[in-house]
Amino acid sequence: MCTVCGCGEGETKIEGHDHQHDHHHHQHHDGHGEHGHTHDYGQGPAHAHAPGLSQSRMVQIEQDILSKNNQYAAANRRYFEQLGILSLNLVSSPGSGKTTLLTRTIDDLMANYAICVIEGDQQTANDAERIRTTGAKALQINTGKGCHLDGHMVGHALEALKPEQGSLLFIENVGNLVCPAAFDLGEAHKVAILSVTEGEDKPIKYPDMFHAADLMLLNKIDLLPHLDFDVERCIGYAQRINPRIKVLQVSATTGEGMEAWYQWIAASRQMAMVGNPAVPA
């Protein structure tokens, strides 16, 4: 593992990123690697070796376990702010229809915005290929054994993808309602997608994710007549976990409700650009 930025841990693969380690780490690694030589003062309080005495001591750390990830996420967020990019982190269980929703969204919005996509899956580049057929730029990250994307992977993906000023960036996280909740990627909003073919109690079964999300898209509503799914109860559960969450009912297949989702994107993009001189509105 690269001890500077943690690259190479696990089996993460980013398309087109060969992971040669002479690289240009992100700007926040300054200050490392200055210690070319070691001083042997001993590690005790007096910095002296005292045979027979224990050298153990206490060190106060008081640091968040995710602080490293949060640093990478903050760097990504600065990058998005500077370029006026609206970044959305799409999270859901596998099979909620994320990729279908995304391809439809891209088809409908391509004329209005430049759009790029970062796809996270454990294996295969299938989803990125599906996205590329829409004409949008897409990059696949394979997390290997990992169950979520983290700020560091996304940082490297941005180096390769180079989203342009004022564009929309969708980050499709690994299908998993647990782990991605904890890992900030630097996105403006997490969007949780729940399909009506899943249980209506998912928001209270996986509360961390629905707590972290700003918007919930209730997908596949065209199937409601065939199912025993209580929409009101589901929305009630989501609001119990997160009183601020907004809920939109959509069908990526029939297009029902998608206009509201596009309006939400447009409004969020406006917010991302307020006061940003880099981008003409």
Partner 1 sequence: MHEMSLCEGVLQLLEEHAVSQGFSRVRRVWLEIGALSGVEPEAMRFSFDAVMKESLADGAQLEIIHQPGEAWCMQCSKPVQVTARYQSCPQCGSYQLQVTGGDEMRVKELEVE
Q: Which residues of this protein are in contact with partner 1, per CB under 8 A?
A: 3, 6, 9, 32, 35, 41, 43, 54-69, 146-148, 150, 178-179, 181-183, 203-204, 207-208, 211, 237, 240-241, 243
175 Cβ contact partners less than 8 Å away, ≥ 6 residues apart: 92, 93, 94, 95, 96, 98, 121
Work out how close the CB of 141 gets to partner 1 at its nearest, in angstroms, rounded to a whole number: 15
Residue type, 193: I
Q: Is the Cβ of residue 223 or residue 247 nearer to partner 1 in the bound state?
A: 247
Work out how close the CB of 257 gets to partner 1 at its nearest, in angstroms, rounded to a whole number: 26
Work out how close the CB of 55 gets to partner 1 at its nearest, in angstroms, rounded to a whole number: 5
Work out how close the CB of 142 gets to partner 1 at its nearest, in angstroms, rounded to a whole number: 16
Supply 237's token pair: 């559960």
Q: For residues 190 and 168, is the Cβ–Cβ distance under 8 A?
A: no
Q: For residues 192 and 241, is the Cβ–Cβ distance under 8 A?
A: no
Residue type, 27: Q
Q: Is the Cβ of residue 6 or residue 257 nearer to partner 1 in the bound state?
A: 6
* Partners of 140 in the β-ladder: 119
Q: Is the Cβ of residue 109 or residue 149 nearer to partner 1 in the bound state?
A: 149
Q: Is the Cβ of residue 57 or residue 226 nearer to partner 1 in the bound state?
A: 57
Q: Is the Cβ of residue 41 or residue 262 nearer to partner 1 in the bound state?
A: 41
Work out how close the CB of 239 gets to partner 1 at its nearest, in angstroms, rounded to a whole number: 8
160 Cβ contact partners less than 8 Å away, ≥ 6 residues apart: 14, 15, 16, 17, 139
54 Cβ contact partners less than 8 Å away, ≥ 6 residues apart: none
